[in-house]
């Protein structure tokens, strides 16, 4: 309950603080950045309320999903980790909201580096929590094989947690480099992570369901 109250308080503070800031923004504000952190898309300043309200929508989704999960009885077993993931992801969205505002008023110039740093940190945090996730249908590495066998789920998340942490560390290093080479490495590593966890879960399923 404390974590839920904390999230609601932080979200409310962010939204309320956005109101006076809105009137200080230019008519057009950045909406999208390219791989080098240069603005390549804008929208009206009213868009800042979209990014301010989006974390509310995501948090409501986090609260709703356990109620419809067929494995809802497992959530109390990893409630602390689930709440932590909700807090981290929602606050990450709040952070992006305020980084966009700071960029709009010229106080943030290297948006690409900052976003990569925080994305990398997000992956590291998720990687450390992932091994503790219990079997469910919404949170975690969901492949046909992890969803078919709880032992495969457990082993895949243990290995996947290490992979997520390593990818997060790589992304934080790449944050200090610009250009297409950095982007290609990032995409290759991300796709490699997806492919690795997919194949590993399949091999684990073949091994532990014999």
Using pLDDT thresholds of 50, 70 and 90, give the confidence band for residue 30: confident
pLDDT in tens, 103-138: 999 888 888 899 999 999 999 999 999 999 999 999
To the nearest whole percent, how much of the chain has pLDDT over 90? 80
* Average pLDDT of the residues of the chain: 92
For residue 37, the model assigns a pLDDT of 73
Whether 138 and 65 have beta carbons less than 8 Å apart is answered as yes
Tokens of 165: 């942490």
Helix (H) or strand (E) holding 133: none
Six-digit token string for 121: 């940190």
DSSP 36: T
The least confident of 9-13, 33-37, 113-117, 171-175 is 33-37
pLDDT band per the 50, 70, 90 thresholds, residue 41: confident
The residue that leads in pLDDT, 28 or 178, is 28
Q: Say which residues have a Cβ less than 8 Å from residue 25's Cβ, sequence separation at least 6.
A: 45, 48, 101, 104, 105
**Residue 1: pLDDT band by 50, 70, 90 thresholds?**
low
pLDDT at 199 over 70: yes
Backbone angles phi, psi at 42, to 5 degrees: -130, 165
CA angle 101, 125, 74 (to 5 degrees): 115
The pLDDT of residue 3 is above 80: no
């Amino acid at each position: 309950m404390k974590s839920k109250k904390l999230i609601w308080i932080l979200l409310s503070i962010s939204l309320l603080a956005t109101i006076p800031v809105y009137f200080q923004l230019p008519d057009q504000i950045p909406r999208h950045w390219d791989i080098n952190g240069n603005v390549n898309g804008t929208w009206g300043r009213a868009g800042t309320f979209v990014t301010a309200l989006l974390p509310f929508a995501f948090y409501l989704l986090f609260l709703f999903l356990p109620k419809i999960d067929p494995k809802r009885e497992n959530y109390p077993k990893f409630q602390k980790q689930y709440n932590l993931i909700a807090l981290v992801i929602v606050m990450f969205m709040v952070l992006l909201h305020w980084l966009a505002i700071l960029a709009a008023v010229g106080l943030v110039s290297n948006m690409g580096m900052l976003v990569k740093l925080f994305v990398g940190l997000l992956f590291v945090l998720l990687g450390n929590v992932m091994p503790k996730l219990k079997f469910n249908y919404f949170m975690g590495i969901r492949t046909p094989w992890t969803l078919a066998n709880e032992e495969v789920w457990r082993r895949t998340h243990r290995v996947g947690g290490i992979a997520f942490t390593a990818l997060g560390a790589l992304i934080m290093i790449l944050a200090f480099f610009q250009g297409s080479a950095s982007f290609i490495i990032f995409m290759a590593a991300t796709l490699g992570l997806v492919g690795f966890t997919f194949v590993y879960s399949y091999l684990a399923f073949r091994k532990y369901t014999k």
